[in-house]
Amino acid sequence: MAEQARDERFDHLFASTVRDRLDGGRYGGSASPAAEDAVPLTYGFPYPESFPTAELVAATETVLEEEAADVLQYGGGEYAERLHDGLLAREHDRGIDASREELIVTNGATYALDAIASTFVDPGDEVLVESPTFVWSLSVLDNRGAELTGVALDDNGLDPDALEATLEAREAAGEPTPKLLYTIPEFQNPTGATLTRERRERVLELAAEYDFLIVADDAYGELRFAGESPPPLAAMDDSGRVIRVGTVSKTIAPGVRTGWIVAAEPLAEQIGTMVAGGTNTFTQSVLGRYIDAGHYGPTLERLLDGYEKRRDAMLDALERHLPAGSSWTEPEGGFFLWVTLPEGVDAEEMLPLAAEEGVTYLPGERFFVDDSGRGTRSARLSFSHCSPAELDEGIAALARATERYLD
């Protein structure tokens, strides 16, 4: 089918960030070639069998039977309040001593990040991000006018030496201190890396020394199926500089669009004004009943078993299929791993060929804040969505595409 020309009649009315994307701007690129039969290693989605459908149906029925007049109003009802209690209990279990006033429920993690950016970022303000990092977070911050600077990471997460060098260079040049550092410390998207305890301590020290806030996106923090987790940054923070973002998209279902923010009360008070009246209290009530009925923990255990089997299947397939010169991360949780293909491969350029062979993925260079060419040989592969058999098929297709590309 011939590609249709884009309708440009309204381009002059769009904001500059939208025009930049239309012109091929850097952020927000998660599209892959349409390939109906290809194995989609692009999707950071839970596997379909993971959804607790029966439990959510039962929770919805109970909520409507017991307090329909309240949950269908603006303010929600008792079960919406129980969601707050349930989330606080899980935060406390992870060592985070948050109060009710320090927790804000939002319509998902992306909404939470946008509320944080709206609270703290003026156009032109500097925000530090991991390089690479989640592409849609780059888009959210860019939409708020942030100037984004990437900080290197490796298999142990964000590099505090690189962070310190960036801060020192800005100070020496007389440039303002960044307002925020955005980090995904646990099973980072896209690499799967986890920030070590020692590095967490250094990052907290630098935040205090240079007076910036840390936005810790913990979307994957509960998805550990091997090894031991360091304490969350918020549990190690005694200065109130960590703003923590959580979500149930990975532990219950993304369609419920529910997340939360934990921040020191003076920060939470202002962030809360950005979300006031704009959240789905009906969904919150259903989730409050779901947690109150004791479903969260057992469902999470079942999910972790499924994710571990899929991670193992992908690692096994990579070992058996990929050509010499390839390498990859081996995360102990989360949804993703980061593969680096042999010298000479351009993962973006190879994508249509991979789709022909039967697999799609997200090229690594899309996750970097700059156009330095980093990530050219790399790709983010998701093991969370497909079955073990599909994962094997997809990695075999990736190997065939790589060999064809290099021929």
Give the pLDDT confidence score for residue 284 in this predicted structure: 96
DSSP conformation class of 133: -
Confidence class of residue 101 from pLDDT cuts 50, 70 and 90? very high
Q: Indicate if the pLDDT at residue 372 is higher than 80.
A: no
Q: Two tokens at 264?
A: 């020191």
Give the pLDDT confidence score for residue 30 in this predicted structure: 57
Question: Tens digits of per-residue pLDDT, 122-134?
Answer: 999 999 999 999 9
Q: Two tokens at 268?
A: 């939470």
Question: Tens digits of per-residue pLDDT, 244-298?
Answer: 999 999 999 999 999 999 999 999 999 999 987 788 999 999 999 999 999 999 9
CATH 3.60.15.10, domain 54-294, yes or no? no
Question: Tens digits of per-residue pLDDT, 56-98?
Answer: 999 999 999 999 999 999 888 899 999 999 999 999 999 999 9
Q: Two tokens at 196?
A: 């070590």
Give the pLDDT confidence score for residue 95 in this predicted structure: 96
Three-state secondary structure call for residue 327? strand
Residue 23 CB: number of other CB atoms within 10 A?
A: 8
Residues across the chain: 407
Give the pLDDT confidence score for residue 230 in this predicted structure: 96
Amino acid at 162: A
Q: Indicate if the pLDDT at residue 301 is higher than 80.
A: yes
Give the pLDDT confidence score for residue 388 in this predicted structure: 98
Question: Tens digits of per-residue pLDDT, 303-328?
Answer: 999 999 999 999 999 999 999 999 99
Where are the CATH 3.90.1150.10 domain residues in the chain? Answer: 26-50+298-406
Give the pLDDT confidence score for residue 200 in this predicted structure: 99
Which are the contacts of 5, defined by CB distance < 8 A and separation ≥ 6? none
When comparing pLDDT for 9 and 37, which is higher?
37
- Of the candidates 335, 337, 346, the one whose C-alpha atom is nearest the C-alpha of residue 319 is 337
From CA 347, how far away is CA 341, in angstroms rounded?
8
Question: Tens digits of per-residue pLDDT, 222-242?
Answer: 999 999 999 999 999 999 999
- Of the candidates 245, 157, 162, the one whose C-alpha atom is nearest the C-alpha of residue 206 is 162
CATH 3.40.50.1100, domain 26-50+298-406, yes or no? no
From CA 241, how far away is CA 350, in angstroms rounded?
42
Q: Indicate if the pLDDT at residue 5 is higher than 70.
A: no
From CA 392, how far away is CA 163, in angstroms rounded?
38
Give the pLDDT confidence score for residue 27 in this predicted structure: 58
| Ordered DSSP codes for 180-197 | EEEE--SS-TTT-----H
**Is residue 303 a contact partner of residue 251, using CB atoms and an 8 Å limit?**
yes
Confidence class of residue 1 from pLDDT cuts 50, 70 and 90? very low
Q: What percent of the chain has pLDDT over 70?
A: 94
Q: Cis before residue 132, ω within 30 degrees of 0?
A: yes
17: part of which helix (H) or strand (E)? helix 16-22
Q: Mean pLDDT over all residues of the chain?
A: 94
| Ordered DSSP codes for 103-116 | EEEESSHHHHHHHH
Span 152-178, mean pLDDT?
Answer: 97
